[in-house]
Amino acid sequence: MVTGTGTRWLAGALIVGLMTLVGPSAPKGTLFARPLPAGAPDDVVPNRVMTWNICNPCNESGQNIGRAADIATYAPQVIGLQEACVRDVERIRDHLEYQYGLVYHVKYGSVLRSWSRCGGLPWRPGGFGQAILSAAPMTDPVSVEYPDGGSEDRGYMAVTTTVDGRPVRVFNTHLAQRRQEAFRAKQAKVLAAAVARHDRAIVLGDFNAVPDAPELADMWALATDADPQCRASGTGTCEVTTDWYSKFDYIFLRGIAPVGHEVRLTRYSDHNLFYADVELTDPA
């Protein structure tokens, strides 16, 4: 006869056994992992960076597992996420490590505490804003809230980390919502002033503006997009990055050369994944 205490002990032993089977020491591609397509990298790509607005609120079933699989398919060295809840990012990071063997450090740039977006308790809501995942450690993090976010608090974050084997300052931002051009113009000036202090920088983010929008002029004066056909003049052919066929997501490069890029559809957001392979050169 198994007593109540014995039953709990047996259940605990079974859980420990299962964790041993599929936990951190389990090989890449455990029982719960979504298979990756053929040709997916076996490890992080050291010169690859990605920006992705992961959409909130979006209620796709199994979305964090799916988001992790989408990221693992391209395995960037650095990922900038927008509209990110801290709890979601924690789950994505864990899925990447335990299911795909990709280990990332995380820094947050949350500018909003939102129970409606991120859950938690009404008196202890979840953090909402930006996050950066990096395969290399990150130093000197800053999180800055724009003086006026428009209809919702917005800001940028920045860290120093390693891309293509060299240290670089990486920014991640989310500008004010559509039809709030005046707010975005002020925010872009604040961001550009911070970026201008670095000879070499990568700026990831959802700018909520098309390439020839006047509010992006300060950024274009400092950097180019990783998509070489996309220019501030609007004369180039910019790949769209949203479900409404607009280019809103950018990988601005300052003192860094792009060597390739891709925009990929995903079912887990209304923004596409946008990643670029880059080459870091010595600052002039």
Residue that has been written with the tokens 């450690």 in this structure? 137
How many other CB atoms are there within 10 angstroms of residue 216's CB atom? 22
* pLDDT-based confidence at residue 113 (cuts at 50, 70, 90): confident
- Identify the H or E element spanning 253: strand 249-254
Calculate Rg over the CA atoms of the chain: 20
Q: Which residue has the higher pLDDT, 122 or 52?
A: 52
- Nearest-angstrom CA–CA distance, 95 and 65: 6
- pLDDT tens for residues 203-238? 999 999 999 999 999 999 999 999 999 988 766 789
Q: What is the pTM of this model?
A: 0.87
pLDDT for the residue numbered 126: 81
pLDDT over 70 at 31, yes or no? no
- pLDDT tens for residues 124-143? 778 899 999 999 999 999 99
How many other CB atoms are there within 10 angstroms of residue 204's CB atom? 29
pLDDT for the residue numbered 254: 97
∠ CA 282-45-239, nearest 5°, is 85
Summary mean pLDDT of the chain: 87
Backbone angles phi, psi at 282, to 5 degrees: -65, 135
pLDDT for the residue numbered 23: 43
